[in-house]
C-alpha cells in the first residue's frame, strides 16, 4: 500500500534542507509537507531556470510566490543547457544537477520529489538499456551528492496520493507542456506504456518499484566484495588497474569492478556496450598494442599490464612552439600549464615545443646523450603521455626537459642551485575535457 505524503518524513534528517523546486505537482507537495513539518536546521528551495520554454520566466515567478507564501527562501539559478550527445532530457538533467551541486552547502541535504511512479519508469528505462543490479536499483532514497546528500522521501508515494494532497490543501502548481511530448523516452513510458501495464496489472508501478528495491538489496550485498576486488586490482595511480589481476577475476565481478572504477574517477558512465568493448578490445590486447576505447570525452587504454582511464586529453599540435622566460606560468594548447617555481625565471628564454622525433638529452650522471624515446620507454612513460609531452630547449636547440618528467644534467644542476622546480600541470586539461563532456 503506497504511503501518504505526510508519512514520508519518517527519516527526516537532522540537517539543513534544500528542496529542488520546479513548481510542478511533485515538488510543490514536497515543499508544502516539509514546510508544515518544520525543520529546526533550516529549509530553503532552489529553482533551476533552464530557459528552454517560453514560460520559464513565469514559472520562476510562480515559484517565488509559492515560497514567499510558505515563508521559505528561494534561490533561482539560470543555466545554459549544453548538448551532451544523449538528448535534451539528459542535457537538462546534467545542467540541473550541476546547479544543485554548486549551490549546496557542506552537510546540507537536497530533497528531491521523485515518487513511486518515477521509480517504476526509471526501472523500465534501465531495463531497456540492459542494466545490471546496480542500474536496476533505479533511484536510491539516500545517496552522497557533492558536499551533502540527496534525499528522496516520496519514493514510496504514488502520484495519485500527491494529487489528492495538493487538492486537499488548495495548492497551485505548474503543468509543463513538454511532459506530454512522447518523443522523450520517459514521457513515452508515462503516457503510453504505463497506462497499458496498469490496464492489465493495476499494481504494475508498485511491483516495478519493489523490484528496484530488491535489486538495490542485491547490489548492496555485491558491493562489499566489489570493494575488495577493486582494491586488489588497483595500482598506486587511481587511473590505472592491473590487467593481469583483472583477468584473474570472474567475468561478472570484473564488469562490476570496471564500472566502479569509472564511477570512482567521475568519468561519464560507460555506454551499454562499454564493458564488452573493454573486454574484447582492450583487456586482451598485446602489451605493446596501445588499444583505445573512446566514449563521451573519456578514454580507456591499455599498455603493458596497465589499464588506464581518463578524460580524453588533446595533443600538442606538431608545429606548436613558443618562447618562455619562466617568469609566469605558461598555458599550453589544450589546457595544460607549465610553471617554474622557486625562482624569478630562466637566465634566458627557452623554447617550448611539441616532440618532433629524434630528440636526445644527457641526463645527470651519464657521460653521453640518449634518445628521448628510449629514456621515456625506460621510465615507463605511457604512449599517450608521450604524445602530449611539452619539450623545453635552449636557443641552440639543446633539449633541456620533457615536461617535468625528465631533466637534462644541465637543467637539473641549474634547478638544484636555486632550489627551484619545473612543474607540468595536467589537471586543467582534464577539468576542461570533463566539462566539455557534460560531467
Cβ burial of 149 (10 Å; 0-12, 13-18, 19+) is middle
Q: Residue 275 domain-assigned? A: yes
Q: Are residues 97 and 145 in the same domain?
A: yes
Q: What 3-state class would DSSP assign to 77?
A: strand
Short-list 316, 339, 308, 298, CA closest to 430: 298
Residue 27, annotated as binding a ligand = yes
Which phi and psi (to 5°) does residue 282 adopt? -110, -55
Residues in Cβ contact with 328 at an 8 Å cutoff, skipping those fewer than 6 apart: none
- DSSP for 360-424? EEPPTT-SS-EEHHHHHHHTT--HHHHHT--EEE-TT--EEEETTTEE-HHHHHHHHHHT-EEEE
Q: How confident is the model at residue 93 (pLDDT cuts 50, 70, 90)?
A: confident
Residue at 149 is within a domain: yes
Q: Is 22 annotated as a binding residue?
A: yes
CA distance linking residue 142 with residue 150, whole number of Å: 6
**Grid coordinates belonging to 385:** 603521455
In sequence order, the β-bridge partners of residue 151 are 111, 142
Q: What is the pLDDT of residue 426?
A: 80
Q: Which of 180, 212, 244 is the last residue of a domain?
A: 212
Residue 219 lies in a domain: no
Residue 220 lies in a domain: no
Q: Which three cell numbers stand for residue 359?
A: 630528440
- Total number of residues shown for the chain: 439
**Would you call 211 helix, strand, or coil by DSSP?**
helix
Mean pLDDT is lowest, of 81-85, 109-113, 225-229, 283-287, for 81-85
Q: Is 23 annotated as a binding residue?
A: yes
Cell readout for 102 is: 554548486
**Confidence (pLDDT) at 384:** 83
Domain shared by 198 and 305, yes or no: no
Distance of CA 240 to the CA centre of its chain: 18
CATH of the domain at 143: 3.40.50.620
Q: Residue 31 and residue 343: Cα distance in Å, rounded? A: 57
Q: What is the pLDDT of residue 77?
A: 93
pLDDT at 18 over 60: yes
* Average pLDDT estimate for 150-160: 94
Mean pLDDT of the chain: 90
Of 279, 311, 343, which residue sits at a domain end? 311
- Digit-coded pLDDT (tens) for 236-278: 989 999 999 999 999 999 999 999 999 999 999 898 899 999 9
Residue 430, pLDDT score: 41
Of the spans 134-138, 238-242, 432-436, which averages the highest pLDDT? 238-242
298 and 430 within one domain: no
Q: What is the pLDDT of residue 179?
A: 84
Specify whether 107 is located in the same domain as 167: yes
pLDDT (0 to 100) of residue 289: 78
- Report if residue 189 sits inside a domain: yes
The residue written with cell numbers 600538442 in the block is 316
How far apart CA 159 and CA 27 sit, in angstroms, is: 11
Quick one: which of 75, 65, 53, 55 has its CA closest to 28? 65
Joined grid coordinates for residue 200:
492489465
Residues 139, 105 within the same domain: yes
Residues 149 and 116 in one domain: yes
Q: What is the DSSP letter of 273?
A: T
Residue 427: give the domain boundaries: 321-436
Q: What is the pLDDT of residue 427?
A: 66
Burial of 304 (0-12, 13-18, 19+ CB in 10 A): exposed
Question: To the nearest whole percent, how much of the chain has pLDDT over 70?
Answer: 95
Total number of domains constituting the chain: 3
Instruction: Please report which confidence band the pLDDT of residue 370 belongs to, taking 50, 70 and 90 as the band edges.
Output: very high
Report pLDDT for 242. Answer: 96
Average pLDDT over residues 119-132: 91
Spatial separation of the C-alpha atoms in residues 148 and 150, rounded to whole Å: 7
Q: What is the largest CA-CA distance in the chain?
A: 88
For residue 282, is it within any domain? yes
> Which of 276, 311, 346 marks a domain boundary?
311
d(CA 219, CA 215): 6
Banded pLDDT at 315 (limits 50, 70, 90): confident
pLDDT of amino acid 436: 37
pLDDT of residue 316: 87
Considering the domain architecture, whether residues 48 and 138 belong to the same structural domain is answered as yes
Residue 229 lies in a domain: no
Q: What contacts 218, CB < 8 A, 6 or more positions away?
A: 133
230 pLDDT more than 90:
yes
| pLDDT value of position 313 | 83
Segment 173-197, tens digit of pLDDT: 999 888 888 988 899 999 999 999 9
Hey, is 355 helix, strand or coil? coil
**Per-residue model confidence as pLDDT tens digits over 380-395:** 888 888 888 999 999 9
CA distance 363 to 185: 60
Are residues 89 and 118 both part of a single domain? yes
Residue 199 and residue 117 share a domain: yes
How much is the CA Rg of the chain, to the nearest whole Å? 27
Pair 158, 53 in one domain: yes
* Bridge partners for 295 per DSSP: 298
| HSE of 261, CA atoms in CB hemisphere, 13 A | 31
At 21 the pLDDT is 96
CA 347 to chain centre: 43
Q: Could you tell me the pTM of the whole model?
A: 0.65
Is residue 226 one of the residues assigned to a domain?
A: no
List the 337-341 sheet strands across, edge first. 330-331, 337-341, 421-425
Residue 431 has pLDDT above 50, yes or no: no
In angstroms, the CA 128 to CA 143 distance is 24
The reply to whether 15 and 150 lie within a common domain is yes
Claim to verify: residue 239 and residue 146 sit in the same structural domain: no
Amino acid at each position: 500500500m503506497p504511503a501518504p505524503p505526510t508519512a514520508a518524513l519518517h527519516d527526516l534528517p537532522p540537517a539543513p534542507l534544500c528542496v529542488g523546486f520546479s513548481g510542478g505537482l511533485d515538488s510543490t507537495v514536497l515543499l508544502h509537507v516539509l514546510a508544515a513539518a518544520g525543520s529546526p536546521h533550516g529549509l530553503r528551495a532552489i529553482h533551476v531556470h533552464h530557459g528552454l520554454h517560453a514560460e520559464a520566466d513565469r514559472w520562476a515567478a510562480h515559484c517565488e510566490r509559492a515560497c514567499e507564501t510558505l515563508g521559505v527562501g528561494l534561490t533561482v539559478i539560470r543555466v545554459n543547457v549544453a548538448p551532451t550527445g544523449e538528448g535534451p532530457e539528459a542535457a537538462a538533467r546534467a545542467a540541473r544537477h550541476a546547479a544543485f551541486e554548486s549551490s549546496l552547502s557542506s552537510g546540507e541535504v537536497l530533497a528531491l520529489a521523485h515518487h513511486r511512479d518515477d521509480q517504476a519508469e526509471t526501472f523500465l528505462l534501465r531495463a531497456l538499456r540492459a542494466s545490471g543490479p546496480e542500474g536496476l536499483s533505479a533511484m536510491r532514497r539516500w545517496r552522497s551528492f557533492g558536499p551533502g546528500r540527496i534525499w528522496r522521501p516520496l519514493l514510496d508515494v504514488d502520484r495519485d496520493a500527491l494529487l489528492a494532497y495538493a487538492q486537499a490543501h488548495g495548492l497551485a502548481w505548474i503543468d509543463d507542456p513538454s511532459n506530454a511530448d512522447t518523443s522523450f523516452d520517459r514521457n513515452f513510458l508515462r503516457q503510453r506504456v504505463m497506462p497499458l501495464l496498469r490496464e492489465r496489472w493495476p499494481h504494475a508501478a508498485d511491483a516495478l518499484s519493489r523490484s528496484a528495491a530488491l535489486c538495490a538489496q542485491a547490489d548492496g550485498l555485491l558491493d562489499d566484495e566489489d570493494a575488495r576486488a577493486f582494491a586488489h586490482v588497483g595500482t598506486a595511480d587511481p587511473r590505472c588497474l592491473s590487467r593481469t589481476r583483472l583477468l584473474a577475476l570472474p567475468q561478472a565481478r570484473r564488469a562490476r569492478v570496471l564500472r566502479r572504477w569509472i564511477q570512482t574517477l567521475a568519468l561519464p558512465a560507460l555506454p551499454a556496450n562499454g564493458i564488452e568493448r573493454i573486454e574484447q578490445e582492450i583487456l586482451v590486447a598485446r602489451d605493446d598494442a596501445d588499444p583505445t576505447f573512446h566514449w563521451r570525452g573519456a578514454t580507456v587504454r591499455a599498455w603493458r599490464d596497465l589499464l588506464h582511464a581518463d578524460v580524453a586529453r588533446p595533443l600538442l599540435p606538431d608545429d606548436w612552439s613558443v618562447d618562455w622566460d619562466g617568469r609566469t606560468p605558461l598555458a599550453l594548447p589544450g589546457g595544460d600549464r607549465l610553471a617554474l617555481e622557486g625562482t624569478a625565471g630562466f637566465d634566458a628564454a627557452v623554447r617550448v615545443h611539441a616532440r618532433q622525433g629524434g630528440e636526445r638529452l644527457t641526463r645527470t650522471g651519464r657521460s653521453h646523450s640518449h634518445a628521448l624515446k628510449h629514456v621515456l620507454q625506460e621510465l615507463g612513460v605511457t604512449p599517450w603521455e608521450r604524445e602530449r609531452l611539452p619539450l623545453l630547449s635552449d636557443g641552440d636547440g639543446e633539449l633541456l626537459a620533457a615536461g617535468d618528467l625528465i631533466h637534462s644534467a644541465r637543467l637539473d644542476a641549474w634547478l638544484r642551485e636555486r632550489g627551484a622546480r619545473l612543474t607540468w600541470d595536467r589537471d586543467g586539461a582534464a577539468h576542461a575535457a570533463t566539462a566539455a563532456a557534460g560531467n
